[in-house]
Structure 1
Amino acid sequence: MASLIPSKGRGACSSQAPTRLGLPSRDADGDWLDVHDLVDGPVDKLRTTVTLENPKTIISFNRSPDIPFDRSINAYRGCEHGCIYCFARPTHAFHDLSPGLDFETKLFAKPTAAKLLRETLAKPGYRPEPIAMGTNTDPYQPIEARYLITRELLETCLEARHPVTITTKSDRVVRDLDLLTALAARNLVAVGISVTSLDAKLSRLLEPRAASPAKRLDALGALTDAGVPCHVSVAPVIPSITDSDLEGILAQAAARGVSAATWIIVRLPHEVAPLFREWLETHFPERAGKVMATIQSIRGGRDNDPRFGKRMRPEGVWADLYRRRVRLAMQRHGMGRPDIFLDCSQFRPPSAHGQLSLF
Structure 2
Amino acid sequence: MAKQKVDRLKMNPPLGRMPVLQILPPHELEVDGSYQRSIEAADSQALIKRIAQHWNWDLCQPLVVSRRRGEQGEADRFFVIDGQHRLEASRLRGDIGQLPCVVVEYAGAADEAASFVHLNQQRRPLSKLQLFRAAVSSGDAQACAIVEALADAGLEMATHTNWNYWKPGMVSNAGGIERAWEKSGEKVTRTALRALGLAFQGQVMRFAGTIFPGIVAVCTDEMPGGHPFGEGRFETFLTMLTRRTQVAWRDDVARIKGEYPDLRYGDAAASAIRAAWGRAAGAEVPRRAPVAVVAGNGAKPDAPARPLDPLAPYTGTRWCDQCDMQVSFAELSGCKSRWCTLKKLA
TM-score relative to the length of structure 1: 0.23
Question: TM-score scaled by structure 2?
Answer: 0.23
User: Per chain length, whose mean CA-contact separation is higher, i.e. which structure has more relative contact order (CA < 8 Å, sep 6+)?
Assistant: 1
Structure with more helix by fraction: 2
